Structure 1
Amino acid sequence: MNKRNTTYTRITKIPEELYSEAEFRANNLPIHKKSHRKGEANVIGCLGELIAEYWMKRHDILYCPELENTKYDYKLKNGLTIDVKTKDRRYKPRIDFDNSAPLYNHSHQKPDYFLFISLERDKSDLSKNLRRFHSAHIVGSISYEELDRIGIPFLENEEDWRNRTKFWTDCLNVEMWQLIPLSETVDIFKGLTDGPSSQAAININIVKEMKNRIYNKQLRERKLPVISVFQ
């Protein structure tokens, strides 16, 4: 199995101005009717976008925000489009952690690449204070086409048997090891290379387990990544 991504960038101290700007941006956004966490989702998403901007500036990646565009968040100088996906986590990233993109707008939201960010919060802090997120992790990227090809679909109200996560909407999941490493992501975003050095591998074990659960009526039917009969 090709585990192409085993590293991530950690921002150990989120600058105060990013919290303040995230709150300001979120207060000026409408609440998406399909949002599970309503206003809280907005402020978490805004903090993720600001972390992405902070990271891109540090790596001299030239970008233009297009945050009102529903198809992507940023257009880069080389013409690529990027959408940022942010997860709320209680733990540091591991290579088997999932990264998700909702399916309700997957046919409309078609950036060239998704950039995944994990916000790590204090496990004992149950408040909604944005500053409970003490660290941010930029874990990797993946192209729209690769996500569409290898993403594992989980459906609304299903529970992931591996970690007990319950899904509030249909989504496509990829694990961190399937993402494009950050060193290559930087080169792609800067236009120094046309794409990753290797293709994303299908999570064969999960596909087989999900097929078995569908066969046994534990899960509903859905389209799964195609694996060879020899795999």
Structure 2
Amino acid sequence: MREVKIKGTEQSYPVGKIVCLGRNYLDHIRELGNKVPDRAVIFCKPASSMLPDGGQIELPPYTDDCHHELELAVLIGQSGKNIAEEDALQHVAGYGVALDLTLRDLQSELKDKGLPWEIAKGFDTSCPLSDFVPAAQVDNPNDIRLKLKVNGELRQDGTTAQMMRTVEEIIAELSQYYTLEPGDIILTGTPAGVSRIQSGDQLDGEIEQVGTLSVSVK
């Protein structure tokens, strides 16, 4: 069973659902040539996709175009269904740094055929994830800076203020479809700057007030 920890405490949570939000930053939508969605684009990753800080990404042999996507991760600490926006942050236990790795070539192929594309998102090691800081340590999750460097070169540099949906709105909307439970993790979308990674790359992510994440590609 996979667990995540809250930094500076003895608290840990067995991981439940990893629920991800796509197309939540307008610049990222534009860079991929996608349409602005009317409702949240939601998909899930299995717990087996998690990779701890310091780990190695293993690119599957059936892809040649894996992209990095730096994201703010939200850890649920209190169960809820049909959560009101004004109550949403009461359900958050902590925040972490995550990467949503995407097999862009496979995703595009499946989308063109009108097929589900979760296998392009949920492969082993596709969700590098840091430990979480207590929710109270983050002043405002909707206004913190995200940066990702690949081999020392800045690739992504944005702020959660650019999100189309706030953390509160995301939690409220997701809880209409899923009961959110302690140990569930929400990935909130990525700013512009995604690009291909390859064997030997070093990825270093940082989110203001939250922490850092460093992984390499095998």
Shorter-chain-normalised TM-score: which range? Answer: under 0.3
Higher relative CO (Cα under 8 Å, sequence separation at least 6) belongs to 2
Q: Which has the larger radius of gyration?
A: 1
TM-score of the two chains, using structure 1 as the length reference: 0.26
Structure with the higher strand share, 1 or 2? 2
